[in-house]
Structure formats: structure tokens, C-alpha cells
Amino acid sequence: DAKTTQPNSMESNEEEPVHLPCNHSTISGTDYIHWYRQLPSQGPEYVIHGLTSNVNNRMASLAIAEDRKSSTLILHRATLRDAAVYYCIPMNTGNQFYFGTGTSLTVIP
């Protein structure tokens, strides 16, 4: 399984953009890069995923490096509700979806 490296914690001011990095240098060619977040006292929540191209949805954008060894989750305007632990997870057709320790995002009002 691909190993991921994320900063333990990050801070952002409210209404500013946040870039959350993830290194996944051992990712295989068929792994999708998924991002999930876990708000306090809740289950993990899907944010976004992609394979090679950058992706946008209503929650965030995902920028994937050309060599796919890293990706960045972009929250365009952080709100207090975005304070959570963010996980990047390479996923493939095997069913082993393992969470790492993630990045704990603090949003400062």
C-alpha cells in the first residue's frame, strides 16, 4: 500500500485559502488519490478525489503533481466549519483503505 506523509497540523485564518499538502511517493499508477476529513465527534467525510488531472468540486480543489507523487488539497476560503483532520488516501481496486494520521487544520477567526 502507498505510504503518505502529511504535516501533523496547520493553521489558517478564516476566509483565507488553505493548501494542505500530501506526499505519496510510492503511489501506484492505478491508485486514485482521495481526501477525507473528520470533524470533531463525527465520522470521516469524503472531500474530493482524482487520478491525474486537477479536480474541483463544491467543497475544494485537488491539485495533483505531474508525477503523482504528491497532491494538494485547496480550500479556497477557510471557514470555522472547515476545522477538521484531513486525510489523503491512495485508493485502488484493492479494498484496503488505510487512514494515516492526517493533518489537523485549525481555523483562526
- Single-letter code of the amino acid located at 99: F
User: Cβ closer to another protein: 24 or 49?
Assistant: 49
Shortest distance, CB of residue 99 to another protein, whole angstroms?
A: 4
Shortest distance, CB of residue 6 to another protein, whole angstroms?
A: 12
User: Cβ closer to another protein: 43 or 109?
Assistant: 43
CA dist 57 and 100 (Å) reads: 23
- The three-point CA angle 90-96-102 to 5° equals 50
User: Cβ closer to another protein: 5 or 13?
Assistant: 5
The helix (run of H) or strand (run of E) holding residue 86 is: strand 84-91
CB atoms inside a 10 Å sphere around CB 98:
12
Q: Which of 81, 65, 62 is nearest to 15 (CA)?
A: 81
User: Cβ closer to another protein: 13 or 98?
Assistant: 98
Shortest distance, CB of residue 40 to another protein, whole angstroms?
A: 12
Shortest distance, CB of residue 93 to another protein, whole angstroms?
A: 5
C-alpha cell at 93: 481496486
Q: Binding residues for another protein, per CB under 8 A?
A: 30-32, 34, 36, 38, 42-46, 49, 51, 87, 91-102
